[in-house]
Amino acid sequence: MRHLNSLLELRREDVDAIFSLARVLKVGLENGQRPPLLAGRVLTQVFEKPSLRTRVSFEAAMMQLGGSSIFLPAKDAGLGGREAIRDVARVLGGYSDVIVLRTFSQQLIDDFVAFSGTSVINGLSDLRHPCQALTDLFTMQEAFGEIRGRKFVFVGDGNNVAASLATACAMLEVPMTVCTPNDYRLPDDFLVKLRLRCPKAEIEQTSDLKDALKDASIVYTDVWTSMGQEAEDGERQQVLGPFQVNAQVMRLAPRTARFMHCLPAKRGREVTDEVIDGPQSIVFQQADNRMHLAKGLFCWVLEVTP
């Protein structure tokens, strides 16, 4: 049985297969095709965190492929202590072909993988955001074609998005630079594990924007205060302020560089309007691709071929 819990569980050929399926189905949709490849299949989504892109992209993907979708807030699903997680996982697994979870705790997703008996997709946890990272590298491929050797620069907080992007970049041989304040870097133990899994990984960390961006193909940022970190907001705005991606910062990168953000964006904080709405931005192409990547991912976990 196939899951997407962590990118480290995938092989390079798995990622290539997911991208290929997403590409075929995206081109098909552009030509008016909505093949009922998943007719009769049921997607159940259980979320602890609010969501726009994750929830709607997965629902739209399943519906366009002929399946149906159920959404449950975590409390309604019984994850707030009403039942043991393993019991909830077993019950929902009996009703569903795919379960997508968006949680605070990675352990909750690990438990569903262990006990649900059906395919589980990590829609976001405190440690990982694999669907976003796959979508971002898929979008980078659309922008540049061959991406091996092209430099990916993440600016801001070395959070779960940055960690998942580092994993995806390592798997696809994309050199990545994480440009953050010293105390916001990716953890050393994470990088040790990543280099054990991907010995050729080129992941650098720096606080020097000029040096990081001089040969960037992608300039990427994310919110400075993620859900659950609201008490740190004031401190984060102060420390991360010099890492705002604005027009002056984009001029440190080549004109051919593209700007990406996983959204939601706090305009005027980590990014300015002139960048997110500017000619180098591919942010909304990136957002659209969440749905196309979800289609490829469903077909991959369920082993369905277009």
Which pLDDT tens digit goes with each residue over 35-88?
Answer: 999 999 999 999 998 899 999 999 999 999 999 999 999 988 988 788 999 999
| Cβ–Cβ under 8 Å, residues 186 and 163 | yes
Structure tokens at 10: 């995938």
Average pLDDT over every residue of 238-251: 97
| pLDDT tens sequence across 259-289 | 999 999 999 999 999 999 999 999 999 999 9
Cα radius of gyration (the chain): 19
Look-up: residue for tokens 């008016």? 32
Integer Cα distance of 261 and 278 in angstroms: 13
| pLDDT tens sequence across 190-234 | 999 999 999 989 999 999 999 999 999 999 999 998 877 888 889
Look-up: residue for tokens 């965190």? 49
Residues identified as active-site: 102, 129, 132, 222, 262, 290
Q: Indicate the pTM of the whole model.
A: 0.95
Helix (H, G, I), strand (E, B) or coil at 219: strand
pLDDT at residue 63, as a whole number: 98
Would you give the distance in Å from CA 50 to the centre of its chain?
15
Is 90 exceeded by the pLDDT of residue 14? Answer: yes
HEC string of 18-68? HHHHHHHHHHHHHCCCCCCCCCCCEEEEEECCCCCHHHHHHHHHHHHCCCE
